[in-house]
């Protein structure tokens, strides 16, 4: 069954998602999934495209309690219609625990493990004075991790459980995902430009 090219996947995502923050989330998850594919010696294109498309319908159908169309049910139907690989469909279904689909592969577990963590890392980057993700260290994330008021909507428990499911140390998990995201800091808008723009505006 055909895996879309990265270009085809991005074109599809661009049609479905207009939110800049949601697009950046997709890019962050893609980068983390590609890093994990390399780490485990798996298919980087399959893992990357799966990460890129995992929230495809979230902007249009965010109500997860909608048993017909709510995220990710609409995108799962679309992926089946497009004849996407079963492994991609399985992983996207598995990252939504409320669907009751067991995560049975390493890719399933990786997608669930990185999903929330990328959001936490982005939040840490935004509060850095430099607004540069490349200035963030694991200890920076660890410090914010302990502050439960910071990015309170992000489940630390899910991140911990995801790392355990991958059988990887929590902070090694954080390091791997952080480094993957730092490599695309420009795409995520966290390469210092926001701080520079703020300085220009203040001068």
- Tell me if 18 sits within 8 A of 59, measured CB to CB: yes
Per-residue pLDDT of 3-32, as tens digits, reads 999 999 999 999 999 999 999 999 999 999
The model's pTM is: 0.93
| Residues β-bridged to residue 132 | 191
Mean pLDDT of 191-201: 69
Q: Is the pLDDT of residue 203 over 70?
A: no
Percentage of residues in the chain having pLDDT higher than 90: 85
Q: What is the pLDDT of residues 51-75, one digit of tens each?
A: 999 999 999 998 877 778 789 999 9
> Quick one: fold of 6-202?
Hypothetical protein af1432 (1.10.3210)
State mean pLDDT over 86-101.
Answer: 93
Confidence check: pLDDT of 199 > 90: no
Give the pLDDT confidence score for residue 191 in this predicted structure. 94
Instruction: Give the integer Cα–Cα distance in Å for 7 and 179.
Output: 23
**Hey, CA dihedral for 151, 66, 114, 26, is it positive or negative?**
negative
Band (pLDDT 50/70/90 cuts) for residue 196 is low
Mean pLDDT of 92-121: 94
User: CB neighbours of 46 closer than 8 A, spacing ≥ 6?
Assistant: 3, 37, 85, 87, 88, 107
Average pLDDT value over all residues in the chain: 93
Interval 182-195: pLDDT, tens? 999 999 999 988 76
Bridge partners, 190 (sequence order): none
pLDDT of residue 202: 46
Structural domain boundaries of the chain?
Answer: 6-202
Cα–Cα separations (whole angstroms), residue 159 to 31, 111, 140, 186: 17, 11, 16, 25
Give yes or no for a contact between 17 and 71, defined as CB atoms under 8 angstroms apart. Answer: no
Distance of CA 142 to the CA centre of its chain: 19
Average pLDDT over residues 27-54: 98
- The pLDDT value given to residue 66: 72
């Amino acid at each position: 069954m055909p895996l879309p090219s990265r270009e085809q996947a991005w074109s599809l995502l661009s049609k479905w998602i207009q939110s800049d923050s949601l697009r950046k989330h997709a890019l962050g998850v893609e980068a983390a999934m590609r890093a994990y594919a390399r780490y485990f010696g798996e298919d980087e294109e399959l893992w990357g495209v799966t990460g890129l498309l995992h929230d495809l319908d979230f902007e249009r159908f965010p109500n997860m309690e909608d048993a017909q169309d709510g995220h990710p049910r609409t995108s799962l139907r679309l992926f089946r219609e497009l004849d996407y690989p079963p492994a991609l469909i399985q992983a996207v279904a598995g990252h939504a625990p409320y669907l009751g689909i067991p995560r049975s592969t390493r890719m399933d577990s990786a997608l669930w493990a990185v999903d929330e963590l990328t959001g936490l890392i982005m939040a840490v980057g935004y509060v850095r004075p430099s607004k540069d993700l490349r200035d963030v260290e694991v200890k920076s994330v660890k410090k914010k991790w302990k502050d439960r008021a910071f990015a309170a909507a992000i489940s630390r428990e899910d991140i911990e459980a995801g790392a355990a499911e991958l059988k990887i140390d929590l902070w090694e998990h954080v390091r791997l995902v952080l480094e993957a995201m730092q490599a695309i800091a420009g795409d995520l808008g966290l390469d210092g430009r926001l701080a520079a723009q703020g300085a220009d505006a203040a001068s």
